[in-house]
Amino acid sequence: MYARWNGHRLVRAILLVILLLLPNSSIAQPIPKSVNIGSNPAGSLFYALASGLAKVVSESAPFQAQVQPYSGTSTFLPLIDSGELDLGTVNAVDMGLAFQGPNRLKIGGRNPYPHVPNARLIMRGSPLRSSLIVKKDSPIKTIQAVKGQRVTGEYPAQLAVWYNVFGALSNGGLTWKDVKVVPVPAVNEGVDALTQGRADVTTHAIGSAKVKEADAAVGIRYISLDCSPQGEARIKKAVPGYYLSMMKAGSSTGIVEDTCTYTYDIYLVGHKALPDGVVQAALKAIWDNVAKLPPVHPGFREWTRERAVDPEVTIPYHPAAVQFYKEHKSWSAKMDETQRKLMALNP
């Protein structure tokens, strides 16, 4: 009996050693000293949010988090897919297009995003609200009045903004053919084109540093979109993942009246092979310190625990995130169904 008991102990010890030596075992994955969070350029809302998340994670997790800015989402998504970049702040529409790839999903007849089947959702964050921007003294007051105007477009370095403007135009029953396109590489350059007088209309996230800079320079104003049921139906059909919401006059720079805005969700994403320990530690740091985020930037006001999990997400969650949310009673049977459907797109 004693020999048999020792034999069982020996077998268990051997199995444990094997598990520890397996390269794909989460037990064997070391926790790095630092992780990088990819974002859009300095001055953008996504950079501000990535900076706030990096601050909270660095203060509480057993590693440091550093922001790595890029010209746009499309430039750093391939790095997340390959695992060269650990995390990134992105939007739900971009991620749906990139995760499914051009063979499965197109919006506006196109999907120029690199296919990133290895991306996984860590946390669903704040909604991003925006609209089209004009100079404060511009005669353009409505989305319909944008017809025939010089509008920034193309956005090769920041593909998401093409969809932003496409969706806003669609809300007013317009297309790119109804405006004069002013080519710009990315969103900040679009605002520069407006302030320099090369464009009549552009776009940028509400509350961003670039918008405040433009307002100080020339004075800017957001145009209210069409928040009627017909207007909402048009934008939802044009860009799946978009919805409309109102912002009160004076609530942010350039919101000079109650303004109907296009809205979509912001994600914190990572690679599917990101070590479980990194995902769990980062999530715990954010979860436990979520109240510290809004003072860092107004864009965190709606970055809440309640919004972290949602059945309408466009990419599957990282397995360690699923485990975390189940442990915190935030994961439902409906979420299991959502996860299964999304994982089936890229097994």
**What distance in Å separates the CA atoms of residue 279 and residue 261, rounded to the nearest whole number?**
33
Q: Which residue shows structure tokens 């006059």?
A: 249
Q: Say how far apart CA 133 and CA 205 lie, in whole Å.
A: 10
Rounded Cα–Cα distance for residues 347 and 344 (Å): 5
- Sketch the domain layout of the chain as residue ranges: 32-127+265-345, 130-264
Cα–Cα dist 180/149, whole Å? 6
Q: What are phi and psi of 138, to 5 degrees?
A: -65, 145
Express each pLDDT in 256-314 by its tens digit.
999 999 999 999 999 999 999 999 999 999 999 999 999 999 889 999 999 999 998 99
Q: Strand, coil or helix: what is 83?
A: coil
pLDDT at position 20, please?
A: 41
CATH number of 32-127+265-345: 3.40.190.10
Structure confidence by residue, pLDDT tens digits, 128-183:
899 999 999 999 999 999 999 999 999 998 888 999 999 999 999 999 999 999 99
Q: Quick check: do 32-127+265-345 and 130-264 share a fold?
A: yes
Residue 250 confidence (pLDDT) above 80:
yes
- Rounded to 5 degrees, φ, ψ at 342 are -70, -40
Tell me, what's the pLDDT at 29? 66
**Fold of domain 130-264:** D-Maltodextrin-Binding Protein; domain 2 (3.40.190)
Residue 218: which of 123, 340, 147, 135 has the closest Cα?
135
Stretch 323-345: mean pLDDT: 97
